[in-house]
Structures are given as structure tokens and as C-alpha cells.
Amino acid sequence: MNNLKRTIICKGINDFKINRKIIRLYMPKAGDLAVFKVLELGKHTSVQGENGNNCYIFPGDHILAAFGNRYATGQFEGYVPTQYHKEYHVLGKGGAIGILASMHTKFEDIGTTNLQLVGYAVDGDNEVINTKFFGMEKLIFDPKKERPYEIILSLGSSMDSGKTTSAAFLCRGLQAAKKKVAFIKLTGTVFTKDRHFVRDCGADIAIDFSTYGFPSTYLCNQSELLNLHETLLQHVESIKPDYVIIEIADGLVQRETAMLLQNRHFMSQINNVIFSSADSLGVLSGVQILKNMGIETFAVSGLFTASPLLIKEVERIVPQPILTLEKLALSNVLTLLEKQTEAA
């Protein structure tokens, strides 16, 4: 098909045919690849192309993208369809497509970008291509494996609480301390802006779930998440990092986040946690929820640190160090981490 616009979730998939005959019969799974025709523009007037750049789309254009679920409290909730629909919706800029279930009120006037399913991308055996681990080895999670590096989790109270920015500036501080740092975004919906930002901030390598073909991680089962975690860790081990910073999307009560935090095998390999929030009550409740789960935080950060008054409020209610972006980016953040590790 001429002028097919390929989203980033399709990167590396070049050999396929388009099967138009099965669109009403085949029920897609998360990661299944398909060609769609743009019917009407809404929130998404562009997608992230396979080179990472914006690719503007217009009614009548054809795009190559993958079915995926989405959980984003500040944007869309959507799901892989369980039956054929006349219209589908762009759920995420990186190429996650599904059926909208709900949206934040700020998008009610503009709505979704709507698509028509043209056909599924199939291989030489006429099997629908799935992007998950396409052409790549999947590892099985090994809870007993020795990790020759420290793992730090970047957690937050909600979407847009500052988790990525905290992780990015922590990478910068550790880099300033002459440490080699890797960044992994373990959960979320495909859009590689965050990992590029962290890489620019100082991480020696930055990857995410979409590196291994996941259009999103929403509704993945526990084994799938843990195996993805193991695979991503092996990927960054190629640089022999001193620290691996792992961001888990959304808030503490979100499905996949809670699932991972409650898994003792996963948490047994975590050395430190930094918690981000937009306000003082979010910090207090987050730190307390984690403590009740047996998880201690070495520091708190996030959007609240932009306000001197909120910093004063947080100082009165939690004992953890408060790290502004400026403090996170300093080399002496390493001293704080080492003290926390020794205390543990």
C-alpha cells in the first residue's frame, strides 16, 4: 500500500501482507497489527512515526498500528475490541488502537481520532502478526538471579505526578557522580517521549516496554509483566550499569502497579524507591501506603517541589528527604542513596 504511515509500535516489521477478508471474523489480541483508514480527526492529529518523529495524519490516510488497551486517568480509557466495529479509536499517539470506554472531560469537545479497519497485517502463513516480542527473545523472570547493580523504583501518586522527571534528574545526578545508569519504563502506553527525555538527561541507556513490542501493558497478566521485566533488565545489562532506575506508570492503586508492588519476588530485587506526587496529601498517603506494604522510600519528589509552600508542608509530615530537581541532579544524591542502602 502506497503512502502507508507506520506508527512506532510497528518498528522493525517490514514483511507482511494485508488480509482484508478476516476483518469481521478475527477477534484481535493486544499487539495484533492492522491497517486503518483515518475517518475523522480528534485529539490525535499526528502519530509517532517509526523514526520517533511526529507524523501528521489526515482523513483518508492509512496507518499501520496495533491493537492495545489504555489506562490513562488524565486522558483515555480504552480496550481491545471483542467484536467487529465500524469505527475504532486512536488511544495512544504511538499506535495503540482500540475502543474508547471513557475520557477525561477536557477531551469531551474534541473527542477521539476515528478509524476504519482496512485489514490485518499477516505473515507468509497468513497468521496475524503480533508486535509483542516480535523477532526478539523473551526471557522468563528469575527471582533468584543475582543483579550486579542497584535497582531504584520511581513511583508516584498518579499519572503526571512527576515520576519520569524525578527518574530523569536522578539519572543526571548519578551520572554526575560518575556512575553508569540505565532507565527502564516498565509499564504504560506506547509513546517514547519519556525514554528520550531520560536519555537526554543523562541515562546511558533508556528503554521501555514498547522496545519489545508492547503497545501497552494495561491488562497484562503478572507472568507477562515479570517476563517483560526480566527481558528489559537483560537488555540494559549490556552496558554494565551501576544503577537501573525503573519507572512504573500511574499511581499506587493502578492495577499493574499494585500487582508488581505486592509481588514479593519482584520487590525482593528492589534496592530503593523514590516517590513523586503533586501535593502534600499525595506524598503523605503514598509514603504511608508503601510503608504499610513494607516498602520504604529513600526520598520524595515530584510536582509539589515546584512550590516552596508545599515543600514546607511536606517537611512537617514526612521524614524522608525532599529532593527538588536541582538536588536530584547533583552528584551528592549518590551519598544519600548509599546511606539508605547501608541503613537497610
Give the chain's domains with CATH numbers.
5-122 (no CATH), 150-343 (3.40.50.300)
Please determine, for residue 81, whether its predicted confidence score (pLDDT) is greater than 80: yes
Q: Which residue has the cell 507472568?
A: 223
β-partners of residue 300 are: 275, 322
β-partners of residue 46 are: 56
Please determine, for residue 343, whether its predicted confidence score (pLDDT) is greater than 70: no
Instruction: Answer whether 157's CB lies under 8 Å from 281's CB.
Output: no
Q: How confident is the model at residue 297 (pLDDT cuts 50, 70, 90)?
A: very high
Instruction: Answer whether 34's CB lies under 8 Å from 119's CB.
Output: yes
Q: What is the pLDDT of residues 177-221, one digit of tens each?
A: 999 999 999 999 999 999 999 999 999 999 999 999 999 999 999
Residue 116 grid cell: 476504519
Instruction: Answer whether 297's CB lies under 8 Å from 139's CB.
Output: no
Taking the whole predicted model, whether its pTM rises above 0.95 is answered as yes
Q: How confident is the model at residue 339 (pLDDT cuts 50, 70, 90)?
A: confident
Instruction: Answer whether 172's CB lies under 8 Å from 195's CB.
Output: no
Q: What is the pLDDT of residues 105-153, one digit of tens each?
A: 999 999 999 999 999 999 999 999 999 999 999 999 999 999 999 999 9
Query: What is the per-residue pLDDT for 344?
Result: 63
Give CA–CA dist 80/103, Å, rounded.
Answer: 16
Q: How confident is the model at residue 2 (pLDDT cuts 50, 70, 90)?
A: confident
Q: What is the pLDDT of residues 276-295, one digit of tens each?
A: 999 999 999 999 999 999 99
Please determine, for residue 1, whether its predicted confidence score (pLDDT) is greater than 80: no
